[in-house]
Amino acid sequence: MNEIITLKNISYKYTDEETQYALDNISFSIEKGEWIAIIGPNGSGKSTLAKTINGLVEPESGEVKVGKFDLNENNIWSIREMVGMVFQNPDNQFVGSTVQDDVAFGLENLGIPRDKMVERVRDALEKVNMLEFAEREPARLSGGQKQRVAIAGIVALQPEIMILDEATSMLDPKGREEVLRTVKEVKERENLSVISITHDIDEAAAANRIIVMRAGKLVKEGTPEEIFSYGDQLIEMGLDLPFPEKLKSSMKELGIRVPSEYLTEEGMVEWLWTYGSKK
């Protein structure tokens, strides 16, 4: 096993007075190159969990291991170099006055020499298909383009792990698709491990494994097919129902007996076809 992140018995409360744990004894691990989706309703602890990985949140108890490091004060900066995060609001994460300045920001902080920096910025922008926008003002980009620039900012730092914290939730459908495609490409090319916190069914479907959170607890874990087969319960898990599940539930109400396993749209068409021809 080549584990890149291991969390062991993580618990966390926002304040001492709080009785409810924001994270309640959570353990799981992620392998190198794996894509994990974390789902759960608003307030279930998804973002807090992600923030324990790079030390933005310090757990009350438990252990965090990233790569070869057991997270502590001495190696927190090495860990942060390994973990890049993209947040929800594309407008809240820009510091540069042009796209390329913005991507260069992280590299400047690391004291990378200028010639090397120029190369890495170009390379990163190329990977997210935003090179032609290098000189543009970030404010004038669409939401999807802004998030792609944010991803380039992370790629330039050559991390091993990318965390997407509802990175597509404020985008229109086209922007969402654009960003998801970019993440897939970058992940493959750079052999990144990805953690995406999401309510979007397509984003969750892109993962190798889905983790479901509820009230600070890790309640379920499985492949997308396994998790999607929970049907109606997916809504309580903070995910929208895949279309075939919605249709199945409407058909069930009319008394039509539908298969209980998860069906893709193609699977649904096929099932209807068989159902019709049996008659």
Instruction: Return the ∠ at Cα 181 (arms to 210 and 149), rounded to 5°.
Output: 105
Q: Nearest approach, Cβ of 248 to another protein (angstroms)?
A: 9
Q: Nearest approach, Cβ of 243 to another protein (angstroms)?
A: 4
Q: Considering the complex, state which of residue 56 and residue 170 has its C-beta at the smaller distance from another protein.
A: 170
Distance CA 38, CA 51 (A): 13
Which uninterrupted H or E stretch holds 219? Answer: strand 217-222
Strands 61-66 and 69-70: antiparallel
Q: Considering the complex, state which of residue 12 and residue 117 has its C-beta at the smaller distance from another protein.
A: 12
Contact 46, 64 (CB under 8 A): no
Q: Nearest approach, Cβ of 215 to another protein (angstroms)?
A: 12
Please give the structure tokens belonging to residue 52: 């324990």
Binding site for another protein (CB under 8 A): 41-43, 88, 142-143, 166, 169-170, 172-175, 199, 235-236, 238-241, 243, 246-247, 249-251, 253-257, 265, 268-269, 272-273, 275-276, 279
Q: Nearest approach, Cβ of 217 to another protein (angstroms)?
A: 17
Q: Nearest approach, Cβ of 256 to another protein (angstroms)?
A: 6
Q: Considering the complex, state which of residue 193 and residue 196 has its C-beta at the smaller distance from another protein.
A: 196
Q: Considering the complex, state which of residue 116 and residue 259 has its C-beta at the smaller distance from another protein.
A: 259
Amino acid 226 reads E
Q: Considering the complex, state which of residue 225 and residue 236 has its C-beta at the smaller distance from another protein.
A: 236
Alpha helical stretches, state H, 54-209: 76-82, 99-109, 114-127, 143-155, 173-190, 201-205
Distance CA 258, CA 166 (A): 33
